[in-house]
């Protein structure tokens, strides 16, 4: 379980996050929803220790962030963070070099699934292909959690479907997934739980099926209700 308790962050006196509290369970898909600038990516970065927090705590299965966190939580940032000159095969070897949780077979399977060319250089990939390769790097780790920042941003329709397929497939399996997006439609039926953020504050967090059955509202309905009023 990824657990954030009253996490706050300031950036030169401006509060970016304020008392953010939510959990993302293993075996569930949790989605951070919010408008641009609501602090979605920042939350993911705080979980990965990529930006400091100024209050509250973040625990992963009860442990504070340490170097082992990165073996248990794989992070898929919103861009492909691999030097442009690197070949994809080199990038895979680089990952294998550093991550003891790297699953080579799964990496190969994913490369086939997304139909990626090992000899291509990272800098020459199209946006959609780069996003797919980015998923390969994150999902080929035998991690307990996968964190994805805007996996659909700027991706064409065909590739979006291909990426969406991943969530319900064995490639994600029983891991916990935490993702951010501002395009709810892609994930509406995929997510277990939604956490709505507005200006760095958790406006509401809910189980999607529960809202549908108890309030007969769609995720989008709740979002509109919460964020636009």
Partner 1 sequence: MNRYLKLVHLEVHRFRYALFSLMFLTAAIQITGLVHTTQVRVKGWREAARLGEHSTRNFSFADVIGDLQFLFAIPILISIVVLGLYVFLIWYRDWIGRDKFAYRLFTLPTVRRNVYMAKATAIFVFVFAMVSFQLLMLLLERQLFNWMVPSEYRMSSLFAEAVASNLVFVRFLLPLDGIQFVVYYGIGILAVFVLFTAVLLERSYRLPGIVYAILYVAVCGAAIGGAVYLNLYNYFYPREITAIRFCIYLMVMGFTLTLGFRLVSKKITV
Partner 2 sequence: MNKVNEWAGITFNSRDPVYAQVVRLFKEKIVTGVIQSGQTIPSRRELAALLKINPNTAQRAYKEMEDQRLIVTEGNSPSRITLELDVLRQIRAELLGTAVEAFVATIRNIDVPLDELLDVIQQKYTEAQAGKRQEPPEAPFESGEGGNNDD
Segment near partner 1 (CB under 8 A); pick from 75-83, 112-120, 192-200, 213-221? 75-83
Residue 8 DSSP one-character state: E
Pick from 173, 167, 174, 171: nearest CA to 152: 167
Q: In 3-state terms, what secondary structure has residue 62?
A: coil
Nearer to partner 1, 4 or 122 (CB): 122
Shortest spacing between CB 58 and partner 2, in angstroms: 24
Nearer to partner 2, 7 or 177 (CB): 177
R_g over Cα of the chain: 17
Q: 8: which strand partners? A: 55
Shortest spacing between CB 227 and partner 1, in angstroms: 26
Nearer to partner 1, 16 or 31 (CB): 16
Residue 182 DSSP one-character state: S
Out of 1, 8, 23, 70, point to the residue binding partner 1 (CB under 8 A): 70
Q: Return all residues near 147 (Cβ < 8 A) that are at least 6 apart.
A: 44, 47, 48, 73, 74, 75, 76, 138, 177, 178, 179
Out of 99, 162, 184, 225, point to the residue binding partner 1 (CB under 8 A): 99
Report if residue 206 touches partner 1, rule: CB under 8 A.
no
151-180 positions binding partner 1, by CB under 8 A: none
CB burial of residue 88 (10 Å; 0-12, 13-18, 19+): buried
Segment near partner 2 (CB under 8 A); pick from 3-11, 16-24, 34-42, 166-174? 166-174
Segment near partner 2 (CB under 8 A); pick from 50-58, 78-86, 115-123, 184-192? 184-192
């Amino acid at each position: 379980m990824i657990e954030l308790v009253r996490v706050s962050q300031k950036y030169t006196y401006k509060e970016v996050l304020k008392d953010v509290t939510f959990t993302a369970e293993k075996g569930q898909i949790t989605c951070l929803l919010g408008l641009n600038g609501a602090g979605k990516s920042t939350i993911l970065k705080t979980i990965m220790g990529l930006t400091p927090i100024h209050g509250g705590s973040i625990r992963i299965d009860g442990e504070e962030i340490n170097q082992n966190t990165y073996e248990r939580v794989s992070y898929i940032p919103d861009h492909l963070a691999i030097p442009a000159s690197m070949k994809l095969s080199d990038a895979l070897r680089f990952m294998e070099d550093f991550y003891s949780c790297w699953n080579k077979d799964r990496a190969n399977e994913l490369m086939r699934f997304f139909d990626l060319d090992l000899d291509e250089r990272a800098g020459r990939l199209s946006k959609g292909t780069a996003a797919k390769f980015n998923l390969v790097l994150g999902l080929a780790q035998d991690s307990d959690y996968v964190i994805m920042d805007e996996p659909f941003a700027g991706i064409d329709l065909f590739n979006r479907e291909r990426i969406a397929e991943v969530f319900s497939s064995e490639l994600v399996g029983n891991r916990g997934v935490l993702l951010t997006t501002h395009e709810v439609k892609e994930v509406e039926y995929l997510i277990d739980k939604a956490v709505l953020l507005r200006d760095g504050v958790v406006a509401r967090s809910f189980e999607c099926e529960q809202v549908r059955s108890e309030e007969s509202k769609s995720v989008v309905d709740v979002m509109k209700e919460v964020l636009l009023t």
